[in-house]
Structure 1
Amino acid sequence: MPLVAAEHVSFELSPLAEAVHSWHVLVTPGHHALQLPWVRGCRPSSHARRQEPTELLGGLRALGAQPRLEIVRLFGAQPRSTQELSGLLGLSGAAVSRHLRQLLDAGLVRTRREGYYVLYEVVAHRLVALGQAIRGLG
């Protein structure tokens, strides 16, 4: 990628992983730059709104099972169908649907139709807000 110059400081942006879709760069005084991966659809933390306690609890409950955490991890690469998730996780379609329903109800995933298939994808800004709310507890 091209070099970017700001106040006599230049740095190069280079992806750290294939899953990164775009970048948010934070330049701080006294430091050259801090490169942060920014998932598509995700906003920088300065724009994230504070989560209500019920939203935080709902998000934590939705992520409170290993299969649902694995589903969210699998969405990092691309949107997926119930059938695809079933094969990747070794679970029945009904079990995957139950887990997806909990993630949908918590607002952590959304659906979109692509031809015959319904694809599920992560709502990145909701996961970021959930992480910030957890960090804010300490």
Structure 2
Amino acid sequence: MSKIDKTPDEWKAELTPDEYRVLREKGTERAWTGELLNNKETGMYECAGCGHPLFTSDTKFDSGSGWPSFFSPVSKDAIGFHLDTSHGMTRTEITCNNCGGHLGHVFHDGPQPTGDRYCVNSISLKFKKS
């Protein structure tokens, strides 16, 4: 897979200001405000920055956290993992492995079969109905 490498100006021309803030500047959207939080349709969740497939609807669950949550990515190489020590916490940031866009964080308090909770900013995702 060839990775996407764009300048900040190129990203700003393609993304909305809110998408840019979250995907490129590692921002977050307020809990309970995301467009895809309560989506129950069948399909694929893709990176809003580049369209790379990230999660399938059958791995989405209601975590009660206020952000869309998934227990597994579509493939092991879809997501990048990075140590995040911002805001006085130690967490694992997740990014799109294709464009490097910030998605959210992964926690190890999710349901089986993985026990993981990929907590994702809705604005980082686009949904493609199947």
Question: Does the alignment reach a TM-score above 0.5?
Answer: no
Q: Highest CA radius of gyration, 1 or 2? A: 1
Of Structure 1 and Structure 2, the greater strand share is in 2
Give the TM-score normalised by structure 1.
0.28
Give the TM-score normalised by structure 2.
0.30
